[in-house]
Amino acid sequence: MNLVVLALALIVAGLVLVYTLITGISPLPTMPRAKSAMLNLLPAELDGTIFELGSGWGTLAFPLARRYPRCRVVAYERSPLPWLVSRLCQGVWRLPNLTLIRGDFHGAGLGDAALVVCYLFPGGMRKLEPKLAEELSPGALVVSNFFRLPGWQPIDEHAIGDLHDSRIYLYRAKGSAKHVST
């Protein structure tokens, strides 16, 4: 029995390690203080699709789906273990407006996004920026945990008061126009 538990632990650790190397970031859950700050920065009502890019364990996808029941929430995650945990939670909570996709969000169209949520590393944010600039409709919101979106000026920023001086950034898309800091 101990050997089975050890083997499962090694498989789990190996999966997390492999996908950390593939994606460049480990699947970190959004801390409660950051989640609260992100949700507080968002408007009470949204109309359109919400995309969570890199949904990890679903710690934001589920609260977003509950908060905005009239919006379609599409959560992308490449790493199989966090995605599987999210799928198991979806089986329990059964939120009909939430779709969990195991895959790379870079191929997804974001044209109907009302909101894009991300918690990506700096290289991921740099890679995401041209996609957002090209595909988002004017007025679409982008909220980012910890990492800034290069070249964009936040419309709001909130320090969450932790040891890392973590910040939440809220941006508004200007459509296909260039987003330049002032």
C-beta separation of 57 from 29 below 8 A: yes
Residue 35 reports pLDDT greater than 50: yes
Ranges of beta strands (E only) in 27-175 are 49-53, 72-77, 98-102, 113-118, 141-145, 156-159, 167-172
In 3-state terms the chain splits into helix, strand, coil percentages (rounded to 5) of 40, 20, 40
Percent pLDDT > 70 in the chain is 81
**pLDDT tens-digit profile of 135-163?**
999 999 999 999 999 999 999 999 998 88
C-beta separation of 71 from 49 below 8 A: yes
* Separation CA 16–CA 139 (nearest Å): 36
pLDDT of amino acid 29: 74
pLDDT of amino acid 23: 62
- In sequence order, the β-bridge partners of residue 144 are 118, 169
The average pLDDT across 152-176 equals: 91
pLDDT of amino acid 25: 63
Superfamily of domain 28-172: Vaccinia Virus protein VP39 (3.40.50.150)
User: Which residue, 6, 26, 30, 9, is CA-closest to 18?
Assistant: 26
**pLDDT tens-digit profile of 90-122?**
999 999 999 999 999 999 999 999 999 999 889
Residue 182 reports pLDDT greater than 60: no
pTM of the model: 0.86
| The two structure tokens encoding residue 169 | 């950034």
pLDDT of amino acid 27: 66
For residue 62, name the pLDDT band (cuts at 50, 70, 90). very high
